[in-house]
Structure 1
Amino acid sequence: MSKQRLQQVADTMQQILGQVIQYELKDPRVGFATVTGVEVSADLQRATVRVSVMGEPDEQAATMEGLQRARGFLRKRVAEEMNHMRFVPELRLVHDTSLAYTMRIDEVLHEVEAERKANPPKLDDEPEDHGRA
């Protein structure tokens, strides 16, 4: 199967799974989860679904557990929406922490910027003499 077709399948699955998780799952453990990407194997047997979860670590773990338990339902909904496919890939859900990592870097950069604003460098000072004559 062409790379373009695989990407189309992955994009469609990402859209479907995002909608189903947000609007159809009734598991109270599932908090705010976003499907950040889907990678489909060349033979369409497996799909790796990256999920970003907001909240505290214990809430994130509970959400991922709830999503793992709902894999069959999620796969069934993908099959219903993508009825033109002969075979629907087995879903492998992976906790995507890249968003949290990005948010932490952004937070640190804002802290550094605030610290620089609070303690700006003094440009009027004489440069330090580093042993030069």
Structure 2
Amino acid sequence: MANTRAARIGVLIQRVVASSLQRELHDPRLRGVTITEVRVTGDLQIARIYWTLLTDPNKARGERKRAEQALRQSAGRLRSHVGHKAGLRLTPQLEFIYDELPTQAHEIDDVLVVAKKRDEELERSREGAQYAGEEDPYRHPREDEDDDFDDEDDEEFDDDFDDDSDESSENDSEDDDDDLDEDSEDSESHDSSANSDENEDVA
């Protein structure tokens, strides 16, 4: 419950302070100051106001110091505005803390922009380049898979061919054995007939 109330008071303080900086405090040192977040302690005694400065990076250091000084000098007046406009019976003490995150994010954006430009320049330089040897000397995964499939197909074909050859050899061998058996039977029958004829002649 206390945390919920502290969060709600923080939102009110952020609105009041931001409005006062724009409309009621005409201090040139506060131009470009933006309130990013307000955190109120659980006992509602202190409100930490996080702020950043939108300005030229080359002038940021000097302007930041001047803005910090102006905020410290205006803290009492801003607290009165908060108590009056937010309708708080007990107005927290205001502490102003510079928010480093937007600055760091801006620096990261600058780095990304530079990296993108370098990538574009590298891409343009590659457009007119030619391979020294083959057009594409590198093997690709898809080609390797196709080669593997071809090897497997060849092995399966060889196995099938060997099996067929073995079966054919076995069949031929069986046929030869059958022919030999038949010739042997014919020879025995012929010899038997010849012996019978000779016996008849002798008689």
Q: TM-score range with shorter-chain normalisation? A: 0.7 to 0.9
Q: Quote the residue 1:36 is aligned against.
A: 36
* 1:23-79 Cα distance to aligned partner (Å, 9 max, x none): 211222222100000000111110100011122210111011101100000000000
- Name the structure 2 match of 1:117: 120
Q: Which residue of 1 aligns with 2:97?
A: 94
CA distance in 1, matches of 2:17, 2:137: 62
| Alignment partners' CA distance in 2, 1:94 and 1:125 | 57
Counterpart residue type for residue 70 of structure 1: S
More strand by share: 1
Question: 1:111 and 1:30 mapped to 2: Cα distance?
Answer: 31
| Aligned equivalents of 2:30, 2:17: Cα separation in 1 | 14
Q: Which residue of 2 aligns with 1:63?
A: 67
TM-score by length of 1: 0.87
Aligned AA for 2:30? V
Identity of aligned residues (%): 26
Q: What is the RMSD of the two structures over their aligned residues, measured on CA atoms?
A: 2.0
Distance across 2 between alignment mates of 1:24 and 1:36: 19
1:125 and 1:76, CA in 2 relative to 1: closer, same or farther beyond 3 A? farther
- Which sections of structure 2, spanning at least 5 residues, go unmatched? 127-134, 139-203
**Rounded Cα–Cα distance in structure 2 between residues aligned with 1:71 and 1:94:** 12
Higher share in helix:
2
Q: Name the CA shift for 1:118/1:88 in 2 (closer, same or farther; >3 Å).
A: same
Query: What displacement does 1:126 show?
Result: 3.6
Letter in 2 for 1:95: Y
Superposition misfits of 4+ residues, deviation over 4 angstroms = none
Check if 1:106 corresponds to 2:109: yes
The structure with the largest alpha-carbon Rg is 2
Q: Determine if contact 1:31/1:59 at 8 Å carries over to the other structure.
A: no
What CA distance in whole angstroms lies between the structure 1 residues aligned with 2:52 and 2:39?
Answer: 15
- Identify if the C-alpha distance between structure 1 residues 125 and 62 changes in structure 2 by more than 3 Å, giving closer, same or farther: farther
The whole-number CA distance in structure 1 between the counterparts of 2:25 and 2:111 is 35
